[in-house]
């Protein structure tokens, strides 16, 4: 009886993992823009084995970055303003 229960729990865990791998999940990463020095927090939605290359721009200087995500970039927050002293949106 106990063995039988353990077997079912294992099966359930396996099932949960299979479902989890198909559910999109929110994720965020922080990085510094190497063009203007701003610190960015990028909010994305990922989905295991369904991620595509998505473009996004630094809100401070417009530099193009890429992320592996399953849906278009949700939100980009500027944690720290640019540090290069410029105000233009052109990338050198
Ligand atoms: Zn930038």
How many residues are present in the chain? Answer: 92
* pTM (two decimals): 0.73
Helices (H), the chain: 2-20
Can you read off the two tokens belonging to residue 84?
């290069």
Which residues, chain by chain, have CB under 5 Å from ion ligand 1? 33, 35-36, 38, 58, 60-61, 63
Stretch (H or E) spanning 76 = strand 75-80
User: Which has the closest alpha carbon to 36: 66, 72, 60, 7?
Assistant: 60
Q: Give the strands of the sheet with 25-32, arranged side by side.
A: 25-32, 39-46, 75-80
Tens digits of residue pLDDT in 8-63: 767 777 766 666 668 899 999 999 999 999 999 999 999 988 899 999 999 999 99
| Cα 33 to middle of ligand 1, angstroms | 5
Tens digits of residue pLDDT in 33-45: 999 999 999 999 9
| Cα 24 to middle of ligand 1, angstroms | 28
| Cα 30 to middle of ligand 1, angstroms | 13
């Amino acid at each position: 009886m106990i063995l039988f229960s353990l077997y079912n729990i294992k099966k359930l865990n396996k099932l949960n993992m299979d479902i989890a791998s198909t559910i999109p999940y929110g994720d965020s990463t922080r990085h510094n823009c190497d063009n203007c020095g701003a610190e960015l927090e990028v909010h994305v939605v990922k989905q295991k084995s369904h991620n595509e290359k998505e473009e996004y721009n630094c809100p401070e200087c417009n530099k193009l970055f890429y992320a592996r995500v399953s849906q278009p970039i949700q939100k980009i927050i500027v944690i720290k303003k640019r540090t290069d002293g410029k105000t233009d949106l052109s990338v050198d």
